[in-house]
Structure 1
Amino acid sequence: MNSMIGTIGRIAALALALAAAAPAAAADIKGAKDYPGIKRFDGASIVSYSTQRFVRYTLPLGPADELDASGEKPVFTGSKEVSGALTRLSYTAPAGVSSDDVFENYQNELAAKGYQVLFKADGAEIGKNQGAIFAGIETQLFEYSPEAAHFLTAELIKDGATIDIALYVTEYEDGYAPHVEVEKGQTIVQLDVIESGTLQDKMVTVSAAEIGKGLAAQGHIALYGITFDFAKSDLKPDSKPALDQVAQFLKDDPSLKIHVVGHTDNVGGMETNLTLSRARAAAVVAALVEQYGVSASRLNPAGVGPLAPVAPNDSDEDRAKNRRVELIPQ
């Protein structure tokens, strides 16, 4: 009996030792989740997470050697413009793990999933303004190590959708972020994922909260759930869910005034499209005033026709991205 008790005790002690040796579960911020199909480094934690239904994104294809006229945004020696739904993630890797190790794991993960690397650089080759590529995420004021840095952009085309990513892996040196605990030398991962193609269907109804986030982040937000018949300005019945959310957003912030801007593709003449875009914006304003009781003084209808595209007008899919209503704070 004593022998059996001793054996049980040894087994229990071994189980406790194994449990203590196992890596702790990642402590993610509330509501955060990995992008489907891109596995995080083992033991890493999500410390910043955001999504946007539609953005225009400059995907680097060369070093960040210059800054634009504002002195804040990087200018790359090569790049391409993509648009779609953005998922932005920031991870901290377990202390003691090098950026080399983390980056190699991500390269293997992306290669296994079929991503094609568009641009890859290490250290100073990323560009002298590499720190500006992911500046300002969640009010982060990080100083990264350019010597320990690794960067790549990659693309996956699958099931009618295109997924582009920008990945930056480096080590923390200095700075401050109120909601992020990070140690000097700890590896940080910044990951942007931009989805386009069939994902347009996911961008239809934007919630009132998402409208507010989009305006705060970009200064405007595109709405694709407000629809019209071809070459007409009459609102379709399926526009109601999107209008409900716009009205709720305006109700939540009764002091805000907005421009309601109509956009078209380039099918048809310039003047025709300008007139149509203005009429569609006016129809949205009329619906918000008459059906939801929003004061007309808070709404300014405008139309720019095909003059502000977010995609080329050379396919049905891309023309659909250009046909939209945007909200812009006055």
Structure 2
Amino acid sequence: MRKLVCVAAMLSLGVTQVTFSADLAGAKDHPLVSRFRGADAVGYGQADFGNARLPSGANGKHTDAAGRLTDIVYRAPPGKRAAEVFENYRQALAGAGFAISWQCGPGTRDDGCGGFRFAGDLADPVIATLKGDSSEMIKLLDATNNNVSYLIATLVKNGQTSTVALMVSQDDERPTGVLLRVIDAAPMAQGQVTVDAAAMAKGLAAEGKITLYGLHFATDSATLTPDSKQTLDEMAKALKAAPALKVYIVGHTDNTGALAHNEKLSQDRAAAVVKALTTTYGIAANRLAAKGLASYSPVAANTSEPGKAKNRRVEMVAQ
């Protein structure tokens, strides 16, 4: 039995990534999980941040993962059966320290060993986002003979959580296909879009409030970071353009930690914004009032990192 190129040997960051002449242009192995020896990468996609809903148990159970997202479709070499490819991956992942939380198969493609459809629920939506020949990827991953296996595994290393979802499929007389999804957990980079003064004024007029994700604080602190300046500049412009306008500056947190701590933290952060506007920009103190609401008013569920990121915010609310 040929063995998967050793996963454990690629666990350190900065490993040299090898590309193969038969691969789709731009495709490369993930640093943590290499290919089955001799396989070609025929589909590839990578995003600095993405969300993935991964089958993780029977009766439709799913796990939501968010972070740096890598999706690869491989075509195994001729003569390599799905069972051999899947078992090589399983052994290599386990040997590298991944905890396999669930595996199933071979099962049916339409209502498989977890009550989900391998092709429609898992493979097809991913294929639609990848570079490569979609018809070839569908042939590799949509096994009409029901020869499909799947596993989900997690590795925690140096404080970084990586989740792997693996689907191996083989239709009659066709090469074995592999769909590999790797999600390296990381918060979404915030502050990449700044709301300008005109948009703030429009939001206040239409909704009575505007959410400002461009205000950032040091971790577990009320200290504004330097990259908040652009948003503070626009807030001051909006307030100076409407001298009669009075606003509440409202701080919000996610639900991580004790509620009492978050109440104080959100109040202190709101007060820090008020202080910056009054001392640096000369906005009259009687036009501003700080209020911290901790996690009392979420705009998303606190069950995932993307939801928590949305809830960590400052709002400007018309009085």
Normalising by the residue count of structure 2, what TM-score does the alignment of the two structures yield?
A: 0.53
Q: Which of 92, 95, 118 in structure 2 is aligned with 1:130? A: 118
Equivalent residue number for residue 287 of structure 1: none
The 2-side partners of 1:264 and 1:167 are apart by: 35
| TM superposition shift of 1:41 | 0.3
Q: Secondary structure at the match of 1:194?
A: strand
User: Which amino acid in 1 is paired with 2:163?
Assistant: D
Where has structure 1 moved over 6 Å in runs of 4 or more?
A: 205-208
1:52 aligns with 2:35: no
Q: 1:149 to 1:126 in 2, by over 3 A?
A: farther
- How is 1:55-204 mapped onto 2 (pairs within 5 angstroms)? 55-63=50-58, 76=60, 78-124=61-107, 125-127=113-115, 129-131=117-119, 132-139=121-128, 140-141=134-135, 142=138, 144-145=142-143, 147-172=146-171, 185-196=174-185, 199-200=186-187, 203-204=188-189
How far, CA to CA, are the matches of 2:56 and 2:104 in structure 1? 10
CA distance in 1, matches of 2:310, 2:161: 14
Greater helix share, 1 or 2?
Answer: 1
Structure 2 counterparts to residues 199-218 of structure 1, below 5 A: 199-200=186-187, 203-204=188-189
Paired residues of 1:169 and 1:187 also in contact (CA < 8 A): yes
1:263 & 1:172 partners in 2: Cα distance? 52
Report if the CA contact (8 A) 1:83-1:311 is conserved.
no
**Counterpart Cα distance in 2 of 1:310 and 1:85:** 20
Alpha-carbon deviation of 1:33? 1.2
Shift of 1:237: 4.0
Tell me how far 1:204 sits from its aligned partner.
3.4
Inter-CA distance 310–45: structure 2 relative to 1 (3 Å threshold): farther
Whether contact under 8 Å (1:83, 1:310) holds in the other structure is no
CA distance in structure 1 between the aligned counterparts of 2:39 and 2:304, rounded to whole angstroms: 38
Which of residues 295, 299, 302 is equivalent to 1:307?
A: 299
Q: Is the 8 A contact 2:162 2:182 kept in 1?
A: yes
In structure 1, what is the Cα distance between the partners aligned to 2:51 and 2:25?
27
- Alignment partner, residue 32 of structure 2: 37
Q: 1:95, CA displacement in angstroms?
A: 2.2
Contact kept, 8 Å, 1:126 with 1:150, in 2: the verdict is no
Q: For 1:64-116, what per-residue CA distance to the aligned partner results, in whole angstroms no more than 9, with x for missing partners?
A: x6xxxxxxxxxx1x233232221111111112211111111111210121111
Q: Please name the residue that 2:246 is paired with.
A: none
With over 3 angstroms needed to count, the CA separation of the structure-2 counterparts of 1:102 and 1:310, relative to structure 1, is: farther
Matched, 1:238 2:190: no
CA contact (8 A) 2:100 2:153 kept: yes
What is the CA–CA distance in structure 2 between the aligned matches of 1:99 and 1:114, rounded to whole Å?
23
Q: Secondary structure at the match of 2:124?
A: coil
**Matches of 1:109 and 1:92, distance apart in 2:** 18
SS at match of 2:69: strand
Structure 2: segments with no counterpart, 5+ residues: 1-19, 108-112, 129-133, 194-212, 231-250, 274-295, 315-319
User: Identity percentage over the alignment?
Assistant: 32
Matches of 2:302 and 2:41, distance apart in 1: 30
Structure 2 partner of 1:259: none
